[in-house]
Amino acid sequence: MSVEIAEKRFSLPNDAFEDLATRLSRARLPACLGSGWEQGVPVGWLRGLLEDWRSFDPAVLQQRLDGLRQLRAEIDGQGSTSTSSMCAPSARTRCL
């Protein structure tokens, strides 16, 4: 069995996030069809999700990724990528 491990830096593609921002800015929501989930996703919940994605900052995610050790392993020709972090969840920090 052959194993190769190398440092790898993940890079988020700006054009993909620009495309996502454009699509989100054009999103149209239907009128409210009722309360609850019996007729599909509640429009209020969907509106909140849409606002969360509209305020997403990929630069912040890239900065968090850059702070992690990133590895690329190839085992018998099969690639695998991982990140590792020593992080204890608390009220003030979040781990990837």
Range of the domain at 77: 3-26+41-84
* Cα 16 to Cα 44, 81, 84, distances in angstroms: 26, 20, 25
Number of structural domains (the chain) is: 1
Q: How many CA atoms lie within 13 A of 12 on its CB side?
A: 16
Q: Is residue 36 part of a domain?
A: no
Task: Return the ∠ at Cα 6 (arms to 14 and 67), rounded to 5°.
Answer: 50
Q: Is residue 7 part of a domain?
A: yes
20-66 per-position pLDDT tens digit: 999 999 999 888 767 788 878 888 899 999 999 999 898 888 888 88
Q: How confident is the model over 60-86, as a mean pLDDT?
A: 75
Q: Is residue 94 part of a domain?
A: no
Is pTM beyond 0.75? Reply is no
pLDDT of residue 55: 92
Are 40 and 51 in contact, with CB atoms under 8 Å apart? no
